[in-house]
Structure 1
Amino acid sequence: MTLGMQWLTMAVMLLSGLGMGTVFDGYRVVTNELKFPRWWIPVLDVIYWMAAALVVFRVLYASNNGEVRAYVFIGLAIGIVIYYFLFSRMVIATVKWLIGAVRKLITFILKCLEILIVKPLLLIYKMVLVILAFGSALTIFIFKIVIQLVRPFWKLFVWMVRPVTRPLGRWLSRFASKWQLAERFSKMGQLIARLWSKWFRR
């Protein structure tokens, strides 16, 4: 491997160290801001280091066919040190600002949805309830008026058909006494009561 390739590999590893530090700080800030459970932190750490190792190896393979030399680790270490001394605070502040901006944006969107959709729907719902209540009250009022108006005519109709209904009532009473309908209905009611007590009161 030429000296130029070695310097190129070292520079790529330095950039990889910068990227590793950036991703590590970013995910740490996200887990703290979003209040992840503490038992998730070790799991996320393991996932991070596995992903970082795979990415670094892929970059190393692309730069020098995966040859592991001392300058590879030196480049990574220099990149990580440079990141934590020069860029760590800036990255943490940027990630926190982005999280705050996303929260404010979500709050704004939810507020707009509440104003433009939820509140109009609630207003329409309340108006429908008021209209239905008014309509039912008006219907009951009109029904009562109609009953009051029809009541004299109903009394007149009953008085007119009374000569016909009296003989019919006498005939029906003789029919009921002949067939003992009252006793049969009474026995049927007693049977239903016994079955009910037998089946449902155990």
Structure 2
Amino acid sequence: MTLNVQFLTLWMMFVSGLALGVLFDGFRVLAGQLRVPRWTQPVTDLLYWSLATILVFRILYWSNHGQVRLFVFIGLLIGVVIYFTSLSKAVISVMHYLIRTVKALFRFLVKTVETVVVKPIIGLYRLFILFLGFLAALAIFLYRIVLQCLYPFWKLLIWLTRPIWRPLQQHLRMPRWLARIGGWFERMWVWLRRWF
């Protein structure tokens, strides 16, 4: 292993140590923001260490084909120590700022969709219901007018046809079921006149 490869590996392990710190703080901030229950901490720890192991060994394999030497651990340790002593607070602040920005953007998008899409649809639905109510009221009004206009003609028709059906009624006996149907129609007519 040449000196250049060793320095490259040391530098990459230093960067990996910084990345491990950022990843650790990222997990902490997200767990705090999402209010993850306490009992899930072993699962998140396992997830963190799995991601950290994969990250470190991928970088190690890329930099020196996976050879583990003492300077690999020294580079990791220096990166982690420098990160937690000088960069951790700034990175956490940036993460909080990014989360607040994403939340504000999400709220803005929800408000925009509500204003541009949902409220017009609700307004159109209410307008449609109002229009249907207007049509129903107009239909009832026209129905009442037609009933009131036809009532004199109905009375006139009964009066004109009385000489025809009066003698027939006296000579022909109407079946009971037909009389019941006639009584039902008469009651319906009275009911319709009362309501309309």
TM-score normalised by L of structure 2: 0.82
What CA deviation, in whole Å up to 9, does each residue of 1:148-195 have, x standing for no partner? 11101001112222344342685353xx48xxx79xxxxxxxxxxxxx
Q: Which moved more, 1:128-137 or 1:25-34?
A: 128-137
Q: Quick one: which amino acid aligns to residue 15 of structure 2?
A: L
Cα displacement string for residues 110-138 of structure 1 (whole angstroms, at most 9, x for unaligned residues): 11111112222222222222222222112
Structure 2 CA distance for aligned equivalents of residues 32 and 170 of structure 1: 97
Once the two structures are overlaid, the 10-residue window that deviates more, 137-146 or 2-11, is 2-11
Deviation (angstroms), 1:39: 2.3
Moved over 6 A (4+): none
- Tell me the number of residue pairs that the alignment of Structure 1 and Structure 2 aligns: 177
Match of 1:103 in 2: 103
Q: Which residue of 1 aligns with 2:172?
A: 171
CA separation in 1, counterparts of 2:41 and 2:148? 79
One-letter amino acid of the counterpart of residue 61, structure 1: Y
Aligned partner of 1:14 in structure 2 is 14
1:44 paired with 2:44, answer yes
Q: Residue in 1 aligned with 2:181? A: none
Percent of paired sites with the same residue: 44
User: Which residue matches 2:27?
Assistant: 27
Look up the match of 1:58.
Answer: 58
State the partner residue of 1:200. none
- TM-score (norm. length: structure 1): 0.80
Indicate the residue corresponding to 1:153 in structure 2.
Answer: 153
Q: 1:169 to 1:80 in 2, by over 3 A?
A: farther
Taking the aligned partners of 1:140 and 1:163, their CA distance within structure 2 comes to 35
Paired residue secondary structure (1:39) = helix
Give 1:96-135 correspondences, 5 Å limit: 96-135=96-135
| Contiguous gaps of at least 5 residues in structure 1 | 183-202
> 106-115 or 75-84: which moved more?
106-115
**What amino acid maps onto 2:85 in structure 1?**
F
Inter-partner Cα distance in structure 2 for 1:54 and 1:93? 27
